[in-house]
Amino acid sequence: MIHRQPSSRSCFVCGRDNLAGVHAIFTMDRETREVRAELVLPERFHGYPGVAHGGILAALLDEAAVRTGLIDGDFDDLMVTARMDLVFKRPTPTSTPITVVARVLKWTGTRAQVAAEVRLGDGTVTARADVLLARPPPDVAAAWVAERPYWRVDES
């Protein structure tokens, strides 16, 4: 069963109120252990005309990977990216539907290995990342507490 994940108010990738952001909406499937977002990157996110900037794609892959912590957990189970090995396989067009998918490969509770991809509508993979997640240091996690009340599923 597919469930919509909460969004923050200010995150660059998912933030509802971030005027400069991507506004990606993520869903999760506990059965397949996947997180995904379907979106169209506007031309303002290009590196070259008509081609999505690699940094934007890296941010999408990073966000999707981190969100795998919400599949079996909640806000307290979010991790941070410790390492991301990223491969750009072909240009990703702007103004075209794409899907960002991340799936858990291994989860220990303090670390996780996640595979993430950007796909075109026909399934072609344009970028992929192997991501190692880790528990954040206590001071980093403590700084998230103030934002926690603003994480919600916004059905609008």
Report whether pLDDT(4) > 70. yes
Give me the domain span that covers residue 58: 2-145
pLDDT grade for 147, boundaries at 50, 70 and 90: confident
| pLDDT for the residue 14 | 94
Whether 31 has a pLDDT exceeding 70, the answer reads yes
Q: Would residue 29 count as lying in a domain?
A: yes
Average pLDDT, the chain: 94
* pLDDT band per the 50, 70, 90 thresholds, residue 86: very high
Query: Count of domains in the chain?
Result: 1
Asked, for residue 37, whether it belongs to a domain, the answer is yes
Q: What is the pLDDT of residue 89?
A: 98
Q: Are 69 and 76 in contact (CB under 8 A)?
A: no
Per residue in 46-66, pLDDT (tens digit) is 999 999 999 999 999 999 999
- Flag whether pLDDT at 143 surpasses 80: yes
Buried b (16+ CB within 10 A) or exposed e, 119-139: beeeeeebbbbbbbbebeeee
Tens digit of pLDDT for each residue in 90-132? 999 999 999 999 999 999 989 999 999 999 999 999 999 999 9
Asked whether the predicted pLDDT for residue 151 surpasses 90, the reply is no
Contact 119, 127 (CB under 8 A): no
In a domain, residue 68? The reply is yes
- What pLDDT is attached to residue 73? 79
**26 lies in some domain:** yes
pLDDT at 83 over 60: yes
Q: Is 62 contained in some domain?
A: yes
Distance between CA atoms of residues 43 and 64, nearest Å? 21
In-domain check, residue 152: no
Residues contacting 77, CB < 8 A, separation 6+: 69, 70
Q: Is residue 108 part of a domain?
A: yes
Kindly report the CATH number assigned to the domain that includes residue 63: 3.10.129.10
156 falls within a domain:
no
The answer on pLDDT for 154 being more than 80 is no
